[in-house]
Structure 1
Amino acid sequence: MATLGLIHNSATLVPVFNEIAARLIPDVRILHFVDESTIKNTIAAGHLEKATMRRVINLVGSTFDAGCDVALVTCSSIGAAVDMAAALYDQPVLRVDRAMAEKAVATGTRIGVVATLSTTLDPTVELIRRVAAEQGKQVEIVAHVCEGAFAAVMAGDGATHDRIVGAALTETMQGMDVIVLAQASMARVVAALPAGAVAAPVLASPELGIAHARDVLAALAK
């Protein structure tokens, strides 16, 4: 049986990815690796530090030491460190947001990116720009930080978080061809909005990331 290692910055993501994996890759064994320091230290510093990069690279190595065939990192804020890890290990190391960025670039040229943290927004925007350049496409990226939403959810006020993010999706992001959610935790807001409230397609990374991992695992099995 193939084994997929999932590296998270919060234990709250474990059930989210378990549910998706049960649907998309029920025959794959899942191992979770959680290290909150990767996001908390990045937020505190305001950027991805070298020490955190080394931590991420070591976490990726831990998944392979534990017998995983593929490592998937579920946090966009540490994407640059994931790219470094991918260059250092022979086994596949995946960014959860790569498939999302590719789909966004394929969908349209006016791309909205919504986040509750600038430390997540900037790496997501950079990845979309890189994917567009690789594909030779000109895109316009409209980036927006939902001020106050992250503090609200950290304080246990999910309703305020959802209201701020919902307003960004329905008002600030009008006129986009496609909208990208920079954080997996924001996907629930879209599901709760009335049908047709957001005119453009909205992309979230968890499902697209697991689907990409499924394709990589299938290729390894051939």
Structure 2
Amino acid sequence: MQKVAVIHTSPVSLNELKALFAELLPEVEMINIIDDSLLEEVKRNNGITPGIIGRMCLYGQAAQSMGVDLILNQCSSVGESADLVKQTVTCPLLKIDEPMAEEAVRLGNRIGVIATVGSTMKPSCNLIRTKAEQAGKAVEIKEYLVAGALDILMKEKNQEKHNELVLKEIKKAEQECDVIVLAQGSMTVMLPYLEGISKPVLTSPRRAVERVKQMLAQQA
């Protein structure tokens, strides 16, 4: 049986990813490593720290010691530390937002990035720029930060208010961009509200698990 370790910085996407694995990869063992101090630390420092890098590398080594076939990094905010983890393990590592970033570059030149926590914005935009450079394409990235909305969702448990704030920015981006990226996995709660949006709106979890399936099939 193939194994995938998922490194989480909060439990917010755990159930959704479990459901996606059950749907798309029922024969694969999913191992979850959750350290919710990572997200708080990256938010406090508005970016990754030596401590975050150290713990992420430790979790990468732990995953490898379990004999996993692939590591999935669940959190965009620590994506740049995952790039360093990749250099310390022999198994493949996929960042959850990589397939989404690649698709955004394919779909448009003006890319709107919507985030609900400031620490996610820079690594998400940097990833899109990297994917655009790899594709030999010039893109314009517009940032839409819905400050505080993640805490409204996770701490206040007020999904309605979160959705209202995010939808306002989606509608603004719809007027200004070719394609819209919802930078965090937690933003899949917006999917039921996107029917009337005329531009593509991309989320990361399903795209990432579909890519994991492809990568595991290549290993088999």
TM-score, length basis structure 2: 0.95
Per the TM alignment, residue 44 of structure 1 is displaced from its structure 2 partner at its CA by 1.1
Output the CA distance in 1 between the equivalents of 2:90 and 2:66: 15
Give the match for residue 147 of structure 1.
147
Give the match for residue 164 of structure 2.
163
Task: Give yes or no for contact 2:63–2:71 (8 Å, CA) kept in 1.
Answer: yes
AA partner of residue 130 (structure 2): R
Task: Give yes or no for contact 2:8–2:74 (8 Å, CA) kept in 1.
Answer: yes
Task: Give yes or no for contact 1:166–1:190 (8 Å, CA) kept in 2.
Answer: no
Match of 1:207, SS state, is: helix
Task: Give yes or no for contact 1:104–1:111 (8 Å, CA) kept in 2.
Answer: yes
2:209 aligned with 1:210 = yes
Give CA-to-partner distance per residue, 1:152-193, whole Å, 9 cap, x none. Answer: 222222211110001111234423211111111111113234
Give the match for residue 108 of structure 1.
108
Per the TM alignment, residue 23 of structure 1 is displaced from its structure 2 partner at its CA by 1.4
Please list every run of 5 or more consecutive structure 1 residues that lacks an aligned counterpart in the other structure. none
Number of aligned residues = 219
Output the CA distance in 2 between the equivalents of 1:191 and 1:62: 37
Give the match for residue 137 of structure 2.
137
AA partner of residue 207 (structure 2): L
Per the TM alignment, residue 73 of structure 1 is displaced from its structure 2 partner at its CA by 0.6
TM-score, length basis structure 1: 0.94
Output the CA distance in 2 between the equivalents of 1:190 and 1:58: 34
Of residues 48-57 and 170-179 in structure 1, the stretch that sits farther from structure 2 once superposed is 170-179
Give the match for residue 182 of structure 2.
181
**What is the RMSD of the two structures over their aligned residues, measured on CA atoms?**
1.2
Structure 1 segments, 4+ long, off by >4 Å, are none
Give CA-to-partner distance per residue, 1:184-216, whole Å, 9 cap, x none. Answer: 1111113234x22x1111111111111111111
Output the CA distance in 1 between the equivalents of 2:8 and 2:113: 21
Give CA-to-partner distance per residue, 1:111-154, whole Å, 9 cap, x none. Answer: 11000111001100000001101111010111110123123222
Output the CA distance in 2 between the equivalents of 1:173 and 1:60: 38
Instruction: Give the 5 Å matches for 1:186-205.
Output: 186-193=187-194, 195-196=195-196, 198-205=197-204
Instruction: Give the 5 Å matches for 1:30-45.
Output: 30-45=30-45
- Aligned-pair identity in percent equals 32
Output the CA distance in 2 between the equivalents of 1:131 and 1:148: 28
Give the match for residue 59 of structure 1.
59
Task: Give yes or no for contact 1:4–1:72 (8 Å, CA) kept in 2.
Answer: yes
Output the CA distance in 2 between the equivalents of 1:40 and 1:102: 28
Output the CA distance in 1 between the equivalents of 2:63 and 2:192: 32
Task: Give yes or no for contact 1:77–1:120 (8 Å, CA) kept in 2.
Answer: yes
Please list every run of 5 or more consecutive structure 2 residues that lacks an aligned counterpart in the other structure. none
Task: Give yes or no for contact 1:121–1:143 (8 Å, CA) kept in 2.
Answer: yes
